[in-house]
Amino acid sequence: MKYRLLGKSGLKVSELCLGTMTFGEEWGFGTNKADSKKVFDAFVNAGGNYIDTANLYNNGTSEEYVGEFMAGHRDDYVLATKYTLTNPTNPKNINASGNNRKSMMNSVEDSLRRMKTDYIDLLWMHVWDSLTPIDEIMHGFNGLVESGKVLYVGISDSPAWVVSSANTMAELRGWSRFVALQIEYSLLQRGAERDLIPMANHFDLAVTPWGTIGGGALTGKYLSDDDKGPKRIKEGSARLNERNTLIAKAVKEISDETGIPGATLALNWVRQQKGVFIPIVGARTDKQLIENMKCVDVTLSDDVMNRLNEVSKIDYGFPYDFLNGDVVKNIAYSGMYDKIVNHRG
């Protein structure tokens, strides 16, 4: 396992991030403590140090397990958790969720207690609630950083305009800025390429994508009725629609040709994008995680990348298709676009 800087910071994190949403059984698809510990140990033994959880995962059990597994070696890990979703400690309180400062402070205190630690390396805002003023969020984050309870802050599942506004405000006011962005991104879901990923590269945000193997759809397990193993994707999911099934079939075809597992193809297509991409890998068993972590020893060829790009391509819409059209390129660059060697687009 190699390490990367977490965005515009000096924090060194493993090139894969362990997702722990499966730690606990309250949601019906997770794992018990013993099996969760095997997954955790497999990740750590491979050199992983970047652990991702959230206050709500399995109603707080994920945080409890992670805290127990880190005991005695807390400083060895980069621990990331999230606030915003309903705080399981007090779920019926109207202010026990959302981006507001009361939710933030109470959630952090409860997370620290559940994980038996006195600080969080990276605190994510889990989702944008469309209600809380951005300055309230960033001022609250900055206070937590100044208190030492949080070292870095990140943002998850939010529009690009929110992230860019927040980071610009933080820079102007001397507050702690976001160093990382968490989004859904995969061959099946490339919408983030329109605004979120270019914005992340502009602000030097590390991207920690979730859903990189499409919930298992890109492993090929949903292409045949012969696979009787446990499956998380429900019938009717967009991950199994006609377009995404064609993409999964293309991944299976390339896998058969190259011998590279479908999960590795999907993970490395994300890892080899422009910028800092650190995929979240989660698993129900240590065996499954160990197989997926082998992706760090593989580099996809340009031919494979091009084939995956082509089969999964999306329409970018306005203004991107307009700006990339021949007419605009001709009049915006005096007909010399092809002679410019350092395009930023």
Q: Under a CB-based contact definition with an 8 Å cutoff, are residues 120 and 141 in contact?
A: no
Least Cα distance to 6 among 212, 295, 207 occurs for 207
Spell out the residues 6+ positions from residue 20 whose beta carbon is closer than 8 angstroms to its own.
36, 40, 51, 52, 53, 57, 62, 65, 66, 282
Cα atoms found within 13 Å of the Cα of residue 137, Cβ hemisphere only: 27
Tokens, residue 41: 């140990």
Instruction: Look up residue 148 and give its two tokens.
Output: 């030492």
DSSP element (H, E) containing 72: none
- For 338, counting Cβ atoms within 10 Å of its Cβ (0-12 exposed, 13-18 middle, 19+ buried), the class is exposed
The answer to whether residue 222 is catalytic is no
Complete edge-to-edge strand list for the sheet that includes strand 17-19:
206-207, 178-182, 150-156, 120-125, 78-83, 50-52, 17-19, 280-281
CA-atom Rg of the chain in angstroms: 21
CB atoms within 10 A of CB 91: 12
Residue 143 structure tokens = 């206070």
Catalytic residue among 57, 65, 185, 222: 57
Side-chain half-sphere CA neighbours of 217 within 13 A: 25
CA distance 305 to 250: 12
CA 188, CA 193: separation in Å to the nearest integer?
12
What is the distance, to the nearest Å, from the Cα of residue 218 to the centroid of all Cα atoms in its chain? 17
Instruction: Report, as residue numbers or ranges, the catalytic residues.
Output: 57
